[in-house]
Amino acid sequence: MSDITVIGLGAMGTALTEAFLDKGHVVTVWNRSPAKAQALAAKGAIVAASVEDAVRASPVIVVCLLVYDTVHEALAPVWEALSGRTLVNLTNGTPEQARAMSQWAVTHGANYVDGGIMAVPPMIGGQHALILYSGSRQGFDMHSEQLGALGTSKYLGEDAGMAPLHDIALLAGMYGLFGGVMQALALTGSAGIPAGEFVPLLMSWLQAMQGGLPKWAEQIDAGDHTSDVASNLGMQAEAYVNLIDASKAAGISTELMLPMQGLMKRGVAAGKANADLTSLVELLRSQNRSI
């Protein structure tokens, strides 16, 4: 019997296994392509011959595959083996997928904990690797010490969908930031400014802007976007036109910038010109334009 089983030995599953081994845990592993298990076997991992053997080897099963469908594919045939065990699914997915997987696992007698990994593989095992968890409190509490080997754990409640919800919201913030950074570097690069020269300026600007987020939170929670407005939406929508025009003039694609302009225009058309930019969050919520 081992302490933990890891199913999925891609870049992330390998890093998870190494972190468990580093903390002295006995780890059983399984991967669809067996070759990926060899290096871990040399470090002390036990390689299971089948998914079923891997599940039966430990009280807690950590799964880290590419997408949820592959988790179903791998585990559905061995559902009987899950009974009485804790399934910790660290595969990236949506809240709905997590809730459905939780229901499936609970029906088969397992504790289900969903997780969101807010780190890249080299960070795993360090304190800056944040792992979000939600789902069975009992399952999380029973195995929180082993899971602590992966980084800093944050438990977000019994609703299995909460970890992926937070994960995806954090990724939305990250990709929004990355999109803006790409545009900035394409624009400055087109003028021959090396990225290495511009990035320090960009970093301090973004840090200064981040300082305003607590006020954003206050306004959004209060539903009041009109008091103490120093940079109203109307002004920002006009200035944003320059961002589009300057990009076009420099031969830079505007594909990342246009959706934000569309939202700003909708805000102005909805009478929010004198409100703060935070009023656009309500517009996103109340007028769903998903495609």
Nearer to ligand NDP, 54 or 74 (CB): 74
User: In whole angstroms, how large is the CA radius of gyration of the chain?
Assistant: 23
Q: Under 8 Å CB-to-CB from 280, ≥6 apart: which residues? A: 233, 263, 264, 267, 272
The two tokens of residue 169 are: 């919201």
Q: Under 8 Å CB-to-CB from 279, ≥6 apart: which residues? A: 225, 233, 267, 272
* Dihedral sign (CA 165, 166, 167, 173): positive
Piece of 3-11, 145-153, 210-218, 269-277 that binds ligand NDP (CB under 6 A): 3-11
Asked if 8 interacts with ligand NDP (CB under 6 A), we say yes
Piece of 5-13, 106-114, 253-261, 272-280 that binds ligand NDP (CB under 6 A): 5-13
CB of 116 to ligand NDP, least distance (A): 8
Half-sphere exposure of 217 (CA within 13 A, CB side): 5
The two tokens of residue 126 are: 């360090």
The closest of 135, 43, 98 to 147, measured between CA atoms, is 135
Token pair 């569309």: residue:
262
Asked if 184 interacts with ligand NDP (CB under 6 A), we say no
Of the candidate residues 31, 102, 188, 219, the single one contacting ligand NDP (CB under 6 A) = 31
Asked if 32 interacts with ligand NDP (CB under 6 A), we say yes
Of the candidate residues 1, 24, 33, 192, the single one contacting ligand NDP (CB under 6 A) = 33
Nearer to ligand NDP, 175 or 205 (CB): 175
Asked if 73 interacts with ligand NDP (CB under 6 A), we say yes
Asked if 70 interacts with ligand NDP (CB under 6 A), we say yes
Of the candidate residues 3, 13, 111, 188, the single one contacting ligand NDP (CB under 6 A) = 13
Nearer to ligand NDP, 54 or 60 (CB): 54
Nearer to ligand NDP, 120 or 193 (CB): 120
Nearer to ligand NDP, 124 or 268 (CB): 124
Helix axes 258-269, 233-249, angle to 10 degrees: 150
> 64, 12 in Cβ contact below 8 A?
yes
First to last CA, the chain: 49
Strands 111-118 and 130-135: antiparallel
- Contact mark string toward ligand NDP, 96..135, x via CB under 6 A: ---------------------x--xx--------------
Asked if 87 interacts with ligand NDP (CB under 6 A), we say no
> In the bound complex, which residue of the shown chain has the CB atom lying closest to ligand NDP?
10
Count CB-CB contacts under 10 A for residue 38: 12
Nearer to ligand NDP, 91 or 102 (CB): 91
Asked if 11 interacts with ligand NDP (CB under 6 A), we say yes
> 68, 93 in Cβ contact below 8 A?
yes
Asked if 64 interacts with ligand NDP (CB under 6 A), we say yes
Token pair 């960070």: residue:
123
Token pair 């660290």: residue:
90
Residues that bind ligand NDP (CB under 6 A): 8-13, 31-33, 36, 64-66, 70, 73-74, 91-92, 117, 120-121
